[in-house]
Amino acid sequence: SLTRLAVPVAAATLLLAGCASTGDDDASPAAGDGEVTLLTEGKLTVCTNPPYEPFEYEEDGQVVGLDMDIVGAVAEDLGAELEIKITPFEGIQSGADLDSGNCDIVASGITITEEREAKMDFSDPYFDADQGLLVPAGSGIASVEELDGLTVGVQTATTGATFAADNALNVVEFEDLGLQIEALRNGTIDAVINDIAVLGPFASDDFEVGTTFPTGEQYGLGIKTGNTALLDAVNATLERIASDGTYEEIYTKYIGTAPSAG
């Protein structure tokens, strides 16, 4: 619809691209395929894997972040309360948490991949991502070639782990980003690979970003395969927050720049 043209460029591009690929011609998606049924009535249960700042991280005993604000908007539109469950990324990305009825939605900086699309339905994309390399400050490691003979920490079942495997790197797997960073700090690994948006903020006296690997990924929210009522509702919210300025507000709050500034 034409209202999308009024939203910030990056968000508009993402949402339009999403629409084009699904071929969804429904003008009011939330009312499209029947009523949304949630696992627990009145509650939108979301699985996520912190620490993954700025997308999901704990603050004052609460899980907050860009992803949490987005699913918060979905819950608001559904008139439901938001319930966050912390679970391993493995089951989030494999569709297991959705299939077993552990949660209605998985929101965890999840890259939309062909393999995962076979296991769950994805919303329209809401964030652009690339892989990155975090190394000890002053180490000067800045390419895949320079990782030869070194040990790289990756997060289990992520696209970063796939990237490392595709490049035949010598890896150690960690359950979450926090453990990856801790191992880099302890010197048990030489470098960390994960999404650049989460690694960038770790640049400090101790660490530097070695390089960005332009993998051209996009994040989506995952919904159980075939739950079109919920999928349509999620996409309707993404469209709503893109056009009313909420998405830009959320993005700026957590990323520090406006989405159109790239």
For the chain, the residue count is 262
Q: Which of residues 122 and 207 has its CB atom nearest to ligand ARG in the complex?
A: 122
Binding residue for ligand ARG, selected from 49, 87, 94, 227, defined by CB under 6 A: 49
Pairing of β 43-48 and β 81-86: parallel
Binding residue for ligand ARG, selected from 108, 218, 235, 237, defined by CB under 6 A: 108
Angle, nearest 10°, between helix axes 246-255 and 66-78? Answer: 160
For residue 30, give both structure tokens: 């939330």
Binding residue for ligand ARG, selected from 124, 195, 232, 248, defined by CB under 6 A: 195
Cis peptide before 51 (omega within 30 of 0): yes
Q: Which of residues 91 and 109 has its CB atom nearest to ligand ARG in the complex?
A: 109
Binding residue for ligand ARG, selected from 74, 110, 133, 192, defined by CB under 6 A: 110
Write the CB contacts of 134 (distance below 8 Å, at least 6 apart in sequence).
181, 184, 191, 192, 193, 194, 199, 202, 203, 207, 208, 209, 210
Contact region with ligand ARG (CB under 6 A), list: 26-34, 49-57, 223-231, 238-246: 49-57
Of 85, 110, 87, the closest CA to residue 160 belongs to 110
Binding residue for ligand ARG, selected from 66, 69, 89, 231, defined by CB under 6 A: 89
Task: Tell me: does residue 123 bind ligand ARG (CB under 6 A).
Answer: no
Footprint on this chain of ligand ARG (rule: CB under 6 A)? 49, 52, 56, 89, 93, 108-111, 129, 155, 158-159, 177, 195
